[in-house]
Amino acid sequence: MTVRRVRSEIPDTHIKRLYRKAILIAISGNILLALGKAFVAWISDSSAVFSDAANSFSDSLYSILMGIGLYLSQRPADENHPQGHGRFEPFVSLIIAIGMTGAGVTAVWQAIQRFLGQAIIIQPGWPTAILICAAIIKVAMYLSVRDIGNKSYSPAIRASAQDNLADILTSLAALAGVWGSRLIHSSLDPVAGVIVGLWIFRVTWVTIRENLGYLAGRGASDELTQKIVDVAYEVEGVQKVHRVVADYVGQRVRVEMHIYVDGEIPLKDAHEIGEAVKDKVEALLEVDLAFIHVEPPT
């Protein structure tokens, strides 16, 4: 008798469509904004716009890496990865964060150099146009990508949505620097560039912390654990859930659960109750696999 060594998986075509949509939005939107901001930074010589352009180029890079990571994470299980490739996604998210850090360093360094040198008054025409357009585009990207991230329960896509939200603020900060250099003092443009860079660092830290938790086996939240318990009790025949261990393996949790059932019922019936609980728990979007231990009351 041959022992099966690879988990059985049914491809989720709906999730794949959501992933493709998110990748298309992220790559096309970020590349378009990066090129537009770079052109305006070049013709206007604005440190704030340059910092925002560096941020958008970083976003373009991580969008491409996100696409690669999401593709790899959806590959079926094989003998080298018997539980699937789900861990690729948070790993790629960490690479994204490293790229974002580089963009932040570039933005801050350029702005400091301008501040220590000769800050200039920025003509607000083109910078205003590109930064307002960028903010509007990022609002649309944030709303659409956030919706996809919630539907797919993807940490990489949710991180992309949060980055889009942060980009709205960085564009507005850059806009304030451009107008501040003209109306108040020329040094406000490089100051805004520093603020943009520091905000990039903040978003980077949040991304690193979340995805390290996914890779290191962080435990599920109390809310998710309670949700798992509640769906188990929906199965007829479950007398008590007396142990639940739920931790992240990649972007979704694996659940080990112990339940009590009537010790007098046939083994076949007890097994069916356990399988029903397993199906209920694995139907939760946050759950990857569930292992149910069926026991008689003690």
3-state SS assignment for residue 45: coil
Ordered per-residue pLDDT tens for the chain, 298 residues: 566 666 666 666 778 888 889 989 999 999 999 999 888 888 877 776 777 787 788 788 778 877 887 777 777 777 776 666 677 777 777 777 776 777 677 667 766 766 665 555 556 667 778 888 888 999 999 999 999 988 887 777 877 787 787 778 777 777 776 677 666 666 666 676 677 777 778 777 877 887 777 777 788 889 999 999 999 999 999 999 989 999 887 778 889 999 999 999 999 999 999 999 999 999 998 888 899 999 998 7
Quote the tokens at residue 166.
């942060």
Domain ranges, ordered by start, for the chain: 13-216, 222-295
pTM, two decimals, is 0.67
Q: What is the CATH number of domain 13-216?
A: 1.20.1510.10
Quote the tokens at residue 169.
């603020």
> Helices 47-73 and 188-216 sit at what angle, rounded to 10 degrees?
20
Architecture of the CATH domain 222-295: 2-Layer Sandwich (3.30)
**CA-to-CA distance for 56 and 126, rounded, in angstroms?**
17
Please name which of 29, 38, 46, 43 lies closest in space to residue 121, comparing C-alpha atoms: 46
Quote the tokens at residue 119.
């800050």
The one-letter code for the residue type at 67 is G
> Helices 188-216 and 155-183 sit at what angle, rounded to 10 degrees?
170
